[in-house]
Structure 1
Amino acid sequence: MPQMEKRNISINKYLGITLAAVLILAAFFMKLPYFVKNSSYIIYREGFRQKALWTTRSMHTLSGDHFKLRFSQGNVKDAELVLATAEKFYAPIAEKYGYTGKGKIPIIVYSSRAELNRNFGWEANESAMGVYWAGVIRILSPHIWIDEDDPNLYREEFVHSGPMAHEFTHLVVDYITSGNYTRWFTEGIAQYEEYKLTGFEFDKLQASLDQPLYRLAEMNAYFDDLPNQPLAYRQSYLAVRYIAEVYGEDTLKVILQNLAQGNKTETVLEKVLGVNMKDFEENYINWAKEKE
Structure 2
Amino acid sequence: MVYLERIAVGTICVAVLILATWGFPRLYGALPILTYKPLNTLARYYTEWQTRGWLVSESQHFRAKYLAPDVGIVDLVLDAAEEQYYPTTTLLGFQDSGKTLILIYPDRQSLAQPFGWANNEEAMGVYWAGVIRIVSPRDWVQPAEEFEIAFKTQGPVVHELAHLLVDRLAKGNYPRWLTEGIAQQVEKQITGYELPGPEPEEILAWYSLEEMDKSFDRLPDQTLAYRQSMIMVGRLLEKIGWEGIREILKLLGSGRSLEEALYLVAGMRVEELLPSFTLSP
Pick the TM interval, shorter chain.
Answer: 0.7 to 0.9
CA distance in 1 between counterparts of 2:142 and 2:196 reads 21
Counterpart selection for 1:125 from 120, 133, 136: 120
Distance in 1 between residues matched to 2:70 and 2:272, nearest whole Å: 50
- The 1-side partners of 2:226 and 2:129 are apart by 21
Equivalent residue number for residue 84 of structure 1: 79
Does residue 16 of structure 2 align to residue 43 of structure 1? no
Q: What root-mean-square deviation, in Å, do the aligned CA atoms of Structure 1 and Structure 2 show?
A: 2.1
* Paired positions, count: 254
Structure 2 counterpart of 1:44, which letter?
L
Report the counterpart of residue 13 of structure 1 in structure 2. Answer: none
Q: Choose between structure 1 and 2 for higher RCO, CA contacts under 8 A separated by at least 6 residues.
A: 2
Partner-residue secondary structure (3-state), 1:119 = helix
Shift of the alpha carbon at 1:239?
Answer: 1.0
> Offset at 1:133?
0.3
Aligned AA (2:115): F
Q: What's the TM-score, normalizing by structure 2?
A: 0.84
Counterparts of 1:104 and 1:52 in 2: how far apart (Å)?
A: 15
The letter of the residue matching 1:57 is R
Q: Tell whether 2:130 aligns with 1:101.
A: no
Does the aligned pair in 1 maintain the 2:32–2:171 contact within 8 Å?
no
Look up the equivalent residue of 1:112 and give its one-letter code.
Answer: D
More deviation, 196-205/221-230? 196-205
| Alignment-derived partner of residue 167 in structure 1 | 160
- Aligned counterpart, 1:243: 236
1:201 Cα shift?
A: 1.3
**Is this contact kept in 1: 2:88–2:162, CA < 8 A?**
yes
Match of 1:256 in 2: 249
Between Structure 1 and Structure 2, whose CA radius of gyration is higher? 1
Cα separation, partners in 2 of 1:280 and 1:74, compared to 1, 3 Å: closer
Rounded Cα–Cα distance in structure 1 between residues aligned with 2:234 and 2:270: 16
Among 216, 219, 224, which residue is 1:223 paired with?
A: 216
Instruction: Report what 1:188 is aligned to.
Output: 181
Partners of 1:183 and 1:272 in 2: how far apart?
Answer: 20
SS of 1:279 mapped into structure 2: helix
TM-score w.r.t. structure 1 length?
0.81
Give the AA of the match of 1:48. Answer: A
What SS does the aligned partner of 2:69 have?
coil
Report SS of the residue matched to 2:102.
Answer: strand
Q: Counterpart of 1:70 in structure 2: which amino acid?
A: K
Q: Structure 1: how far apart are the matches of 2:272 and 2:66? A: 47
The alpha-carbon deviation at position 240 of structure 1 amounts to 0.9
Q: Kindly indicate whether residue 194 of structure 2 is the aligned counterpart of residue 204 of structure 1.
A: no
